[in-house]
Every structure is written in structure tokens, then in C-alpha cells.
């Protein structure tokens, strides 16, 4: 046998091995003649073979970006095959036999719990015939929205005589009243203001309820999502690129932490606390948060070994972000505004804190340079994909690009997140942690943006000035996010990606945070349309609720075995969020507030 023949045989064998490995990434579903039992987020499709040869069914979810169709089932001649198909997103599929395609590649969005017959015409076209009448899976959400709406109507009907909402908003916007409310409830008037008439006013002390409400919204939504979100795909984290409701709650929490930071530092500066004491408090809080995060990573795992403890995590990222932003802001924070009446006072919230912006922009530049310039072995430089099946399988082991590579080198695979939203769709086996090191840089940037919101509260007294600046910031950074992502899910320069905490993602999340904070501020602190309850209760004990829900996840009385459908999951997950509302209400009633 010649060398050339041996080489050809080796090449053929290698191709066969790779093909088998590629096929093994996903098991071929067994065919059944009977209708399968309905399952959450799936539909059933019946394929009847009238061919004398075997049929092959290939499909792929449209959520899988640049992925090949994959073999899902083989149908024997003269039999009927019942298969489950994904109903969350449109599905690309085709059917072939030994002579070629029986129907060309088709894209169709199946209805959940629908039962379809696949009809094949003239070996060129497939159509789907719905044979049942599945109910609308969003009915539980419609009902809950209607219940909340009725409760609101009854509340305002009962208090109609006391409600002067619109006149109050207009009146308050026209006033020059100074309100400076924060977490520590400082005086509403700066003691060093140059205007003597302002000093003579009565000092008012109050808490900024809108900030507590926003924090409470974030933490309760996080609990609802972590409980399961009713098993609705839009209450789950994005598979890779894109942004869902679940993706917003964590960056919003970091944003609010930055806003609160402005008040806490103003309070410490007024009390003339020494900087070394402040640094000590920062270090202590960082260590406590990081340690609590490690506890959460291990609390529901039995007989865990040190070599398998996950190091990154939600609280760990919050801890590092808090440390970096606090240390930077400590050197620019001041007890009062001494430049309130100079010509550049309209931008004093930026000019007075130029050091914060130097640090934030530096972190942003470092993130971009590392992401797009760091060479990753076996991967294209600047790769931002999930690896696995994406890009037609060209970069299977490149999950997360530079971000994933850095974490695997620093932590090791055994100390990283063992699961991931991308695994189900992209079938990648490479380790990746969504709370890794590189993404911490951009989490610091969104914290600085939240800190900017706090500066606006402190440095501008009129409600209209505050709301106007919130909206300007929201529009500007929202436009940047749209530009970077090109208003698309996967095709932008920098796609929206929560796993990577991409630049476009943090700008989009911060933009929405500015708008939500403005709405909460108008509704709660300005117009008194809403008291913020029950979210203010949750916001005042956010860390305690987060730790509690992590400890009791998948445990009674929060969780128990139920029938697998959206109604059951939604009601149980709502109960999970409500349970922690009740805990927050009890703690508020007892005036028990846990902070670090």
C-alpha cells in the first residue's frame, strides 16, 4: 500500500471520527408512534413516512447563531414518528431521504403544547398542520397584571378625596424647595451653602424612598427569576447575546449601589471621618461580601472539596466592584458643594468629580484592549462568541474569548461556574463564568454611572433638574448601546451580552436604570402617586433577602414538587417572591435592618 493511499485513509478516518463526535453532541431522539405528553416550552410534531426508505429529520433552533442543522431523528419506512420541538424560538428544519431533500429548509415558530402533522408535498415543500387548540401560555401573566391593576384602581378609588396627583406634580416642579435625601438621612440643606436665605430654612430630614423602591424591585425580581420565573423563556437569562428582563436585575443592583455610595460618602465627609477609617470600612465590607458569596456557592452542595469551590459569584463581583469604585470615589468625595453658583455649575456633577471619570474610562479602555487584543490560543483575537456549535463549529473551545481564557488560567475549570445558559443551545463543553474577572471591569463602569445618578441627587435641588439629567444620561448612553450593537441581537460591533458584561450591555442596562429611577422618583418622591410599598421594604433589607432566598432555594416552604406547566410554576414562583415580601414587611415592622 502506497504512502499516498495510507494518507487518504487516515484523512477519511479522521473525518469520520470528527463527524461522529459532531453527531454525538446531541442525541438522536427516539421515534414513538403515540403522541408524547406535553412538556413546558415544547410542542409535538408527527412525521408520517410513506417512503420506502429511511427519513432523516434535521433541525436547529434559530436562537443558535450560525449553527448547522443537526440530525434529530430517523424515521423507518411506513412508520409515524412523534418528536418534541422547541417552542421558545423559531426552528429551522428539513426532512431528507436517501435521494435527497424531501422538503427544503423551513423556519417555523411552533406554539407551546401544540400538536402538528408535518405534511410533505412533491419533495420540495413542507407544511405544518396544527391538530389541537393549545391554550395561551401567557394567561397567568395576564391574570396577575389584571389583579394588580384592580388593586391599584381600588386603592385610588378609596383615597380619591386625598389624591391631588397631577396638581401636586406641577406644583412641586415649580418650587425651589431643596430636598437632599439619602440613605443616611442627611440635612436637606448644605451647611456651607453661600446663599444665606437657604441656610435660614427649616432643615428637613427624610429618606429617598424611590431609591429603596428601585433596589427592592431589583432584588425581588432577582428572587423571582432565580426561583424559575414561571419557566417562561423571557424570564430567563439570554442564551448568549441579547437582553432579557432577567439580565437587567443584577446590573441594576450594581447601579443602585453606586447611587447609594454618593450619599454614604457625603455623610462620612460631613462627619469628618478620617480616610484611613473609611478605607478600613471599605475593606471590611468587601471581605464580608466576598465571604458571603463563597458561602452561597457552597451552601447547597454536600461534601464539597476545596478544589471544587467556585470562586467567582454575584456577591463576589459586587464586593470587588464596591471596593474599586469606593476607593476611587473616596479621593474625590466632598462634604458639600462649594461651586454651586459658578458659571460651570450646570456640569458641576462631572467637573467636580473628574477623578472618578478618569478611573471609569481607564477601566473601560482596559476592558476593550484585553477583549479585542489579547491573543487566545486556538481562537481568533477579539472573539465574543459562545463556542460550541456557533460559527458552524469553527471555534468550539473558544467560549467567551479573552474573558473565558483569563478565568480558566486564573481560577482553573474546577473553580468556575459548572453550568450556563449557552450550553443547552450551543452544546459547548468549555468552562465559562458569567461573573468572571474581565466583566468586573465593566461592572465597575456601571457602578460609576449609578454614582453619577447619586451626584445628580446631591448637587441639583429642583426636581425638574434631576429628572431632566436622568433622561439626558439615559438617552445618551442608550444611543451608544444601540450604536455598538447596531440595534441587532448578534450582528453588532459589540453585541449586548450579559455573560460577558459587554460595553453595549452595561450601557443599555444603565440607560434603562436612569429611566426607571426617574419614574420611581416622580411617582414616589415628587408626586406621591405611590408610596413604594412593598418594594421599599425589600430594598431596605436587600442583602438579607438575597442571602435568605439563596439558602432556601429549592426548599420548602418556597419550593415543592408540582406538575410541570407554566401555571403551576408561575404561581409557585410568585409565592416565592411574596414569601420574601412578607419577611421584609416583618423586618420593617420590627425595625430590623441588616446592612454590611
- Put residue 549 in one of left, alpha, beta given phi > 0 → left and psi -120 to 50 → alpha: alpha
- CA 112 to chain centroid, in Å, comes to 25
To 5 degrees, how large is the angle CA 236–CA 240–CA 242? Answer: 75
Whole-angstrom Cα distance, residue 462 to residue 447? 24
**Enzyme catalytic residues:** 237
Whole-angstrom Cα distance, residue 428 to residue 395? 10
| Cα 395 to Cα 319, 383, 502, distances in angstroms | 33, 9, 20
Contact predicate 521/209, CB 8 Å: no
Whole-angstrom Cα distance, residue 500 to residue 491? 16
Closest CA to 102 of 34, 48, 22, 61: 48
Closest CA to 263 of 222, 341, 205, 318: 205
Query: H or E segment at 593?
Result: none
Coil, strand, or helix at residue 8? Answer: helix
The residues that bridge with 565 in the sheet, in sequence order, are none
Whole-angstrom Cα distance, residue 590 to residue 596? 19
To 5 degrees, how large is the angle CA 272–CA 273–CA 277? Answer: 160
Coil, strand, or helix at residue 428? Answer: coil
Whole-angstrom Cα distance, residue 290 to residue 278? 18
Whole-angstrom Cα distance, residue 182 to residue 263? 5
Half-sphere exposure of 525 (CA within 13 A, CB side): 28
Closest CA to 260 of 313, 199, 212, 330: 212
- CA 126 to chain centroid, in Å, comes to 38
Whole-angstrom Cα distance, residue 124 to residue 104? 6
Whole-angstrom Cα distance, residue 546 to residue 301? 18
Per 3-state DSSP, the chain is made up of helix, strand and coil in percentages (nearest 5) of 55, 10, 35
Amino acid at each position: 500500500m502506497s504512502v499516498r493511499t495510507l494518507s487518504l485513509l487516515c484523512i477519511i478516518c479522521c473525518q469520520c471520527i470528527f463527524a461522529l463526535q459532531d453527531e454525538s453532541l446531541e442525541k438522536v431522539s427516539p421515534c414513538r408512534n403515540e403522541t408524547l405528553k406535553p412538556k413546558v416550552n415544547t410542542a409535538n410534531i408527527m412525521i408520517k413516512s410513506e417512503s420506502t426508505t429511511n427519513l432523516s429529520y434535521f433541525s436547529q433552533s434559530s436562537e443558535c447563531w450560525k449553527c448547522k442543522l443537526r440530525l434529530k431523528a430517523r424515521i423507518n419506512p411506513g412508520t409515524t414518528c412523534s418528536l418534541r420541538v422547541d417552542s421558545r424560538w423559531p426552528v429551522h428544519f428539513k426532512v431528507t431521504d436517501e435521494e435527497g431533500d424531501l422538503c427544503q429548509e423551513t423556519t417555523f415558530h411552533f406554539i407551546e403544547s401544540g400538536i402538528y402533522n408535518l405534511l410533505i408535498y412533491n419533495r420540495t415543500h413542507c407544511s405544518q398542520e396544527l391538530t389541537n387548540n393549545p391554550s395561551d401560555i401567557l394567561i397567568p401573566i395576564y391574570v396577575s397584571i389584571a389583579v394588580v391593576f384592580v388593586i391599584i384602581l381600588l386603592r385610588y378609588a378609596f383615597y380619591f378625596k386625598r389624591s391631588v396627583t397631577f396638581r401636586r406634580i406641577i406644583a412641586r416642579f415649580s418650587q425651589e424647595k431643596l430636598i437632599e435625601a439619602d440613605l443616611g438621612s442627611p440635612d436637606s440643606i448644605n451647611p456651607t451653602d453661600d446663599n444665606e436665605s437657604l441656610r435660614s430654612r427649616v432643615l428637613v430630614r427624610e429618606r429617598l424612598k424611590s431609591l429603596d423602591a428601585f433596589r427592592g424591585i431589583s432584588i425581588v425580581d432577582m428572587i423571582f427569576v432565580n426561583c424559575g420565573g414561571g419557566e417562561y423563556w423571557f424570564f430567563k437569562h439570554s442564551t448568549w447575546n441579547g437582553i432579557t428582563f432577567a439580565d437587567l436585575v443584577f446590573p441594576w443592583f450594581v447601579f443602585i449601589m453606586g447611587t447609594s455610595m454618593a450619599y454614604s460618602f457625603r455623610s462620612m465627609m460631613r462627619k469628618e471621618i478620617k480616610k484611613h477609617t473609611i478605607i478600613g470600612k471599605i475593606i471590611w465590607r468587601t471581605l464580608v461580601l466576598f465571604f458571603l458569596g463563597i458561602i452561597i456557592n457552597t451552601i447547597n452542595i454536600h461534601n464539597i472539596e476545596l478544589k471544587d469551590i467556585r470562586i467567582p459569584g454575584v456577591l463576589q463581583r459586587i464586593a470587588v466592584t464596591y471596593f474599586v469604585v469606593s476607593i476611587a470615589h473616596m479621593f474625590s468625595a466632598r462634604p458639600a458643594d462649594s461651586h454651586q453658583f459658578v458659571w460651570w455649575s450646570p456640569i458641576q456633577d462631572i467637573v467636580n468629580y473628574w477623578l472618578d471619570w478618569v478611573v471609569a474610562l481607564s477601566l473601560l479602555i482596559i476592558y476593550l484592549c484585553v477583549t479585542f487584543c489579547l491573543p487566545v490560543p486556538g481562537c481568533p483575537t477579539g472573539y465574543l462568541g459562545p463556542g460550541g456549535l456557533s460559527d458552524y463549529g469553527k471555534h468550539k473551545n473558544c467560549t467567551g474569548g479573552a474573558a473565558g481564557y483569563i478565568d480558566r488560567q486564573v481560577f482553573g475549570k474546577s473553580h468556575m461556574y459548572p453550568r450556563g445558559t449557552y450550553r443547552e443551545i450551543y452544546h459547548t463543553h468549555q468552562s465559562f463564568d458569567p461573573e468572571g474577572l474581565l466583566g468586573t471591569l465593566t461592572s465597575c463602569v456601571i457602578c460609576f454611572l449609578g454614582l453619577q445618578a447619586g451626584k445628580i441627587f446631591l448637587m441639583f435641588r429642583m426636581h425638574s433638574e434631576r429628572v431632566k439629567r436622568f433622561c439626558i444620561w439615559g438617552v445618551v448612553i442608550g444611543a451608544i448601546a444601540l450604536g455598538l450593537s447596531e440595534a441587532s441581537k448578534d450582528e453588532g460591533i459589540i453585541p449586548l451580552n450579559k455573560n460577558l458584561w459587554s460595553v453595549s450591555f452595561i450601557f443599555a442596562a444603565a440607560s434603562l436604570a436612569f429611566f426607571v429611577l426617574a419614574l420611581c422618583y416622580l411617582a414616589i418622591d415628587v408626586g406621591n402617586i405611590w408610596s413604594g410599598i412593598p418594594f421599599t421594604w425589600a430594598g431596605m433589607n436587600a442583602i438579607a433577602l438575597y442571602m435568605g432566598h439563596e439558602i432556601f432555594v429549592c426548599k420548602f416552604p418556597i419550593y415543592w414538587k408540582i406538575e410541570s406547566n407554566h401555571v403551576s410554576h408561575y404561581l409557585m414562583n410568585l409565592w416565592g417572591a411574596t414569601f420574601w415580601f412578607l419577611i421584609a414587611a416583618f423586618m420593617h415592622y420590627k425595625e430590623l435592618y441588616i446592612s454590611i
